[in-house]
Amino acid sequence: MSAMRRIERVGFVGLGAMGSGIARRIMDAGHCLTGWNRTKAKAEDLLAAGMGWADTPREVAEQCDVVFTMLTNTAAIEANAHGEDGLIAGLRPGSVWADLSTIAPDTSVALGEAVASTGAFYLDTPVSGSPATLAAGQMSVMVGGDRAAYDHVEQLLHAIGPKVTYIGPNGHAILTKVAINLSLVVSVTAFAEAVTLVEKAGVDRAAVVDAALKSVIASPVIGYRAPLLVDDDEVYADVELQQKDLVLAQELARRLGAMVPTCSAASEMLSAARSSDLADRDFLVSVADVYRRAAGVIR
């Protein structure tokens, strides 16, 4: 495989809420950036700040030494990876594609093999956190793939967040992210259940949230999500997006013959929450709505 290219220009495909925030941090770190998004209007602020524009994912890859992608799911990554205008068609020997998305582990491994055939390098680099975590400079990044390719882009990854961990071969970072998000969704769902239980008993919901934020369960995710039960003013991930990660865990468990009972229970609650009138809100708010209606706290 070819030697890696000196990093002169960085590309970014997928400029939604999280992608645009990461792209901004890369630019703020002093890197020249070229971007593409299906809806160009979402990139207006970045373009005004000096980001270059490419008309297709392929053009991003052709122009850049390192390309990041941050897309919704496995289907979106595959749609932008393959074909005449896809990323793989534009990769050059020695360039690096780092995918920040959370996708099916098997797909990530297959993409690594396809990219290797071009002489380029593929890294699965899923992130853990939210736009709030990103804005606070506390995003974490996990990396799977060629160790030399990781070493090559490590400082660039630190522009995204201070906590960067090399996990192992292609696919292993995605597997780790699936495990982390399984735990995240289960814990947040359990929090909604617990708050509803004591609210039904007459305890003030705002007081419960305040106490929880001062207790041993005040993890980072509870820290920024719990206040949404009092003031629903932010959407970090809606129920459909968050359930995708549980489905990945369930599919992996079926394939491996492993048990994930709490994952399955949480996924059932998220399925119910998809029918909530608040399904477009953060998934904690949607799940809490289901629990509260079932308990008769609200009607």
Same domain, 118 and 223: no
Last residue of a domain, one of 138, 168, 198: 168
- Does 39 reside within a domain? yes
* Cα angle value 81/75/119 (rounded, 5°): 25
Task: Count Cβ atoms below 10 Å from residue 251 Cβ, excluding itself.
Answer: 14
Same domain, 111 and 241: no
Helix axes 172-200, 283-295, angle to 10 degrees: 40
**Long-range Cβ contact pairs of 251-254 (< 8 A, separation 24 or more):** 251/104, 252/105, 252/175, 252/178
Q: Which residues contact 126 (CB under 8 A, 6 or more apart)?
A: 99, 100, 101, 102, 141, 142, 173, 174, 176, 177
Same domain, 152 and 183: no
Q: Is 202 helix (H, G, I), strand (E, B) or coil?
A: coil
Same domain, 162 and 200: no
pLDDT tens-digit series, residues 220-256: 999 999 999 999 999 999 999 999 999 999 999 999 9
Residue whose pair of structure tokens reads 């292609």 in the numeric block:
170
Tokens of 11: 């590309």
Q: Residue 247 class from Cβ within 10 Å (0-12 exposed, 13-18 middle, 19+ buried)?
A: middle
Last residue of a domain, one of 122, 139, 168: 168
- Does 2 reside within a domain? no
- Does 4 reside within a domain? no
Same domain, 78 and 95: yes
Task: Give the bridge partners for 269, in sequence order.
Answer: none
pTM confidence score: 0.91
Same domain, 50 and 147: yes
Query: Which of 294, 42, 191, 195 is closest to 12 using CA atoms?
Result: 42
Same domain, 37 and 152: yes
Domain of 262, in residue numbers: 175-295
The CATH number given to whatever domain includes residue 247 is: 1.10.1040.10
Q: Residue 277 and residue 36: Cα distance in Å, rounded?
A: 33
- Does 1 reside within a domain? no
Query: Which of 98, 240, 237, 224 is closest to 173 using CA atoms?
Result: 98
Q: Residue 298 and residue 19: Cα distance in Å, rounded?
A: 37
Same domain, 131 and 194: no
Do residues 64 and 97 make contact, with C-beta atoms less than 8 angstroms apart?
A: no
- Does 3 reside within a domain? no
Last residue of a domain, one of 148, 168, 188: 168
Task: Give the bridge partners for 143, in sequence order.
Answer: 166
Query: Which of 174, 79, 52, 182 is closest to 122 using CA atoms?
Result: 174
Counted domains in the chain: 2
Same domain, 244 and 138: no
Same domain, 161 and 80: yes
- Does 278 reside within a domain? yes
Per-residue pLDDT tens, the chain, 299 aa: give them.
Answer: 578 888 999 999 999 989 999 999 999 999 999 999 999 999 999 999 999 999 999 999 999 999 999 998 999 999 999 999 999 999 999 999 999 999 999 999 999 999 999 999 999 999 998 888 898 888 999 999 999 999 999 999 999 999 999 999 999 999 999 999 999 999 999 999 999 999 999 999 999 999 999 999 999 999 999 999 999 999 999 999 999 999 999 999 999 999 999 999 999 999 999 999 999 999 999 999 999 999 999 98
Same domain, 228 and 106: no
Same domain, 132 and 269: no
Percent of the chain with pLDDT over 70: 100
Residue spans of alpha helices (H) in 64-204: 74-81, 87-90, 105-116, 131-135, 147-160, 172-200
pLDDT tens-digit series, residues 120-157: 999 999 999 888 889 888 899 999 999 999 999 999 99
- Does 73 reside within a domain? yes
Task: Count Cβ atoms below 10 Å from residue 254 Cβ, excluding itself.
Answer: 10
Do residues 190 and 212 make contact, with C-beta atoms less than 8 angstroms apart?
A: no
The CATH number given to whatever domain includes residue 103 is: 3.40.50.720
- Does 218 reside within a domain? yes
Task: Report the catalytic residues.
Answer: 177
